[in-house]
Amino acid sequence: MNKWRVVAAHEYLNAVRRKGFLIATFGMPLLFVVLFAGVAWLALSAERVDMLGYVDNAGLLRNSPAQVVLTGDHLKGQGGLFPDQPVAITRYSDLTAGRAALDNKTIAVLFVVPSDYAATGHVTAYAPNHVPDLAQTRFTALLRQALLAALPADPRLIEPVVEVQVRTLDDQPSNTVSRILIPLLYGILFYVATFSSSSYLMQSLVDEKENRVMEVLGTSLSPGGLMLGKILGLGAVGLTQLVTWVTGGVLALAVAGNFVPDLAGVSLPWPTIALMIALFVPSYLLYAASLATVGAMVTVRQEGQQLAGIFSLLGALPSWFFVSLLTDPNGPLAIALSLFPYTAPMTLLLRQETTALPAWQIPTALVIITLAAAGMIWLAGRMLRYGMLRYGKRVGWRELGRALRGA
């Protein structure tokens, strides 16, 4: 058995047994499941209302029948979680009659339209505890119908622009507002998976130097073999994390779909997941090798974490420009960030969800990241050999240069 395989197996098992890994890996999907379950629970427990009453002091609704039944109106989004729930709305002549109906539970909510409604738009509601959303939407719909009756019946009057559909110059449809958080979520998950395994790598190197296990390792296998084993073993840890999350997502959607009809049709964005996996290998290698170089240079954990901070800032940079990436997904900034190896992974993931990426950009970025990763792996091997015995002293920049020249 090759020694790098021994190292890889050891690092993998050692990392997946850590509490931090278990918490991050299983805690995250669990959190999503809990969130989904929360949404489902909210949906199920939201109050349904079927009878409402109102007192019209403004005379606005005098032409309506004494009782109307509304099932939402022609405007979208009416009724929230219960778009089709019919609600009967009854007119009462005065507050006393309305309150009586409320008291004997004929109606759930009593709305009072004051005489100055036209000027203020204020409405008073009486309810035993609170006013459910559904009651308010349905009553609003009733008012809107009454107001519209005085005008030419054109729904566009109410909502002149329903959605702006952005199209790129080559006429690709681009979809913005509806999915703002999802790309960010992918970006963050990807970042966590890449970065946590890379920082395990750095930590294990610094620990081995601190414990002087490094000397024993150095007399057992080559620095290159050690690095290869660590990078592959911990890379498998990151992949395990991603796969667990994707699986967790599929399961969570399946479970939630049973409770919330709206979620039943939602499927995971497989092209994005495929991109994520394709990006993971080279970008993990890039970050792992960069942090390994740091790990080989420094002697104390704390110092390593400070330097690692630079790389974590670089990796998270695209999320700072999130808004500009969304509004101008093919702008110069977006393209620049997509082609810089450290920012490319997250930028591409964010853009993938907001625009149709030009065909050349993904392969180009993958090649750039791979080349950068290869360069960093080479450097990491050099630094490991050079910095192996620096217990008390960080490798300075001048020495870094010397190591590069192969001294």
Which residues would be at the binding site for another protein (CB under 8 A)? 1, 3, 6-7, 10, 14, 207-208, 211-213, 215-222, 225, 388-389
Which of residues 20 and 271 has its CB atom nearest to another protein in the complex?
Answer: 20
Which of residues 136 and 222 has its CB atom nearest to another protein in the complex?
Answer: 222
Work out how close the CB of 1 gets to another protein at its nearest, in angstroms, rounded to a whole number. Answer: 8
Q: What does the block give as tokens for 113?
A: 């339209």
Which of residues 3 and 99 has its CB atom nearest to another protein in the complex?
Answer: 3
Burial annotation 134-145 (CB, 10 A radius, 16+ → b, else e): bbbbbbebbbbb
Is residue 348 within 8 A of residue 367, CB to CB? The reply is no
Work out how close the CB of 222 gets to another protein at its nearest, in angstroms, rounded to a whole number. Answer: 6
Which of residues 50 and 399 has its CB atom nearest to another protein in the complex?
Answer: 399
Which of residues 231 and 346 has its CB atom nearest to another protein in the complex?
Answer: 231
Q: What amino acid is encoded at 228 in this protein? A: L
Work out how close the CB of 220 gets to another protein at its nearest, in angstroms, rounded to a whole number. Answer: 4
Work out how close the CB of 12 gets to another protein at its nearest, in angstroms, rounded to a whole number. Answer: 12
DSSP letter string over 123-178? Answer: -EEE-SS---HHHHHHHHHHHHHHHHHTS---GGGT-S-S---EE-TT--EE--GG
Work out how close the CB of 240 gets to another protein at its nearest, in angstroms, rounded to a whole number. Answer: 20
For 62, which DSSP code?
A: T
Is residue 178 within 8 A of residue 360, CB to CB? The reply is no
Q: What does the block give as tokens for 89?
A: 């709305």
Is residue 319 within 8 A of residue 403, CB to CB? The reply is no
Which of residues 118 and 389 has its CB atom nearest to another protein in the complex?
Answer: 389
Work out how close the CB of 208 gets to another protein at its nearest, in angstroms, rounded to a whole number. Answer: 8
Greatest Cα pair distance in the chain: 97
* Alpha carbon of residue 339 to chain centroid: 22
What is the phi/psi pair of residue 344, to 5°?
-55, -45
Angle (nearest 5°) at CA 354 between 348 and 358: 55
